[in-house]
Amino acid sequence: MGLTIEVSGISKRYGELAVLRECLFTFEANRTYALLGVNGAGKSTLLRLVALLETPDQGEIRYRQDGRPLQPELDLKRQITLVLPQIGVFNTTVFKNVAYGLKIRGVAKKEMKERVERLLELVGLLDKRDHQALTLSSGQVRRLGLARALVIEPQVLLLDEPTASLDPGNAAVIDAAIQELRERRAATIILATHDYTQAGELADRILVVERGQLREGGPGERGFAVSPPVPPAKPL
Amino acid sequence: MDLLFNIPLHELLGIIGLSLRVSCTALVIATCLALPAAALLALKRFPGRDAILHILNTFMGLPPVVVGLVVYLLLSRRGLLGFLALLYTPGAMIVAQTILAFPIVASLAHSAIVSVDPVVKQAALTLGANPRQLAFTIIKEARYGILSGVIAGLGRVTAEVGAILIVGGNIAGYTRVMTTTIALETDKGNFELAVVLGAVLLSLSLLVNLALIYFQRAGQPLRGAL
């Protein structure tokens, strides 16, 4: 079951640069949200704060499970996972990379094998399970990163541009895996993306991060989810 | 009795065996001490850390005779550790070689640990690693670099002569090792034995270097292909 995340007036600066300014929003449990915004708008910072990798300068983020507040300790951290655009691949096999999160949680070997293989199949990497992960292509590495996050069955899944710069084939595999999780309503998903189409297809609600603030992406939940118009080509 | 270059074969094998035993024991002790030190220096911030790193880097080039002299003074009858009665024993040689290997293993292991890609550390954190698991993951990622350091330390101690000559005394059948035998036999004009032992040492160095190349390559499999 996903968590409810209450973002309550958070601000974050790096030196002189105010990246987030008094953001206020409640992410409801088991819903999927897309964060849209230009580069540097603060999407990644918001995800890092929600993932408890950093702390806000002002305000706070509260987590609730069935209305019960949770403390930001290791147990809570382990219910949240963030998939970054740069997947840090461990110098070992694909299987061991995906199994990492389960191993540090002390999951039994038999269960670990079943869960890892199920996820590798979902992202189309089962035939690569014994390959060295550092030999994978960049698209396969992104799929590995998603499998590694999904295998721990997080209650909050944060995805920072999961398909940026990927070919359509790899992007489709990743989108399908996110869609599968969304349909099961098993986690609260927040997806930062520049892809309007992806946001419209995967998210229940779309938010825009603009000048450090968070706002709804339009009156209808899907109303914003259209590709921006392509400007006409200039005559030569 | 089998003789090789006027030395009984069992004595020759004893010299080679003692060389390996002393160097390997020293290396194991140095590694056991250097690894936690390297991890602490690489993963924690504390006052004096930079100064310790500078000292470690400087001590990588410690002259063996100076180490021999210091260990001699410490272990001699009137020295601070004279009560251990270790002087002119293989134990004293192990102490000297441990001191020589420690800064090399620690410094190279430290470099390997701090060179681990920050993205990998971030990945471990996002997957829920606690501080201990994070440290273990980083050290594991640095394993090939650490092994390179251990092998470089082995190369240093097996080739070393000054320190063990001073603290071991080159006693036949007790503290005589390959390097001290080469020095002695060259003085005596017995070049054949010196050359044979030199060839054994060179072969060992070659093996050490091959292992070093293997581990350095294994640390970066096809990174450039991505």
| A116-157 pLDDT, tens digit each | 999 999 999 999 999 999 999 999 999 999 999 999 999 999
Residue A221 has what pLDDT? 40
At residue B100, the pLDDT reads 96
User: pLDDT band at residue A195, thresholds of 50, 70 and 90?
Assistant: confident
- Residue A226 pLDDT exceeds 80: no
User: For residues B82 and B79, what is the distance between their CA atoms, to the nearest angstrom?
Assistant: 5
Starting from the edge strand earliest in sequence, which strands make up the sheet with A188-192, in order? A80-83, A156-160, A188-192, A32-36, A205-210, A213-216
CB contact under 8 A, A134 and B223: yes
| Cβ neighbours of A26 (radius 10 Å) | 12
Q: What is the number of H-type helices and E-type strands within chain B?
A: 10, 2
Question: Which of A51, A78, A88 is the closest to B123 by Cβ?
Answer: A88
Question: Which pLDDT score is estimated for A33?
Answer: 95
Quick one: average pLDDT of B161-189? 93
Rounded-to-integer distance, Cα B47 and Cα B184, Å: 47
Q: Do B226 and A152 touch (CB under 8 A)?
A: no
User: What would the mean pLDDT of B83-91 be, rounded to a whole number?
Assistant: 95
Confidence of residue B1 (pLDDT cuts 50, 70, 90): low
Closest CA to A203 of A228, A219, A186, A224: A224
Using alpha carbons, list the distances in angstroms from residue A220 to A24, A205, A226.
19, 8, 12
Facing A86 at nearest CB: one of B119, B125, B128: B119
Most B-contacting residue of A44, A86, A104, A116 (CB-CB within 10 A), to test interface? A104
Instruction: Give Cβ neighbours of residue B85 (< 8 Å, ≥ 6 apart).
Output: none
pLDDT in the model for residue A157: 96
Query: Are A104 and B129 inside 8 Å of each other by CB?
Result: yes
Residue-wise pLDDT for B140-166, tens only, equals: 999 989 998 999 999 899 989 999 999
Who's near B126: CB < 8 A, 6+ residues apart? A51, A53, A81, A82, A83, A84, A149
Residue A24, H or E segment: strand A17-27
* Residues of chain A found within 8 Å of residue B126, distances taken between Cβ atoms: 51, 53, 81-84, 149
Identify the closest residue of chain B to A79 by CA–CA distance. Answer: B128
User: What tokens were used for A178?
Assistant: 């996110």
pLDDT at B214 over 90: no
User: pLDDT of A82-108, one tens digit each?
Assistant: 999 999 999 999 999 999 999 999 999
- Say yes or no: A34 contacts chain B, CB-CB below 8 A: no
Instruction: Flag whether residue A99 sits within 8 Å of chain B, measured between CB atoms.
Output: no
Tell me the shortest Cα–Cα distance from B36 to chain A, in angstroms. Answer: 21
pLDDT of residue A194: 87
CA atoms within 13 A on the CB side of A13: 6
Cα–Cα dist B200/A121, whole Å: 53
Residue A210 has pLDDT above 50, yes or no: yes
SS3 B29: helix
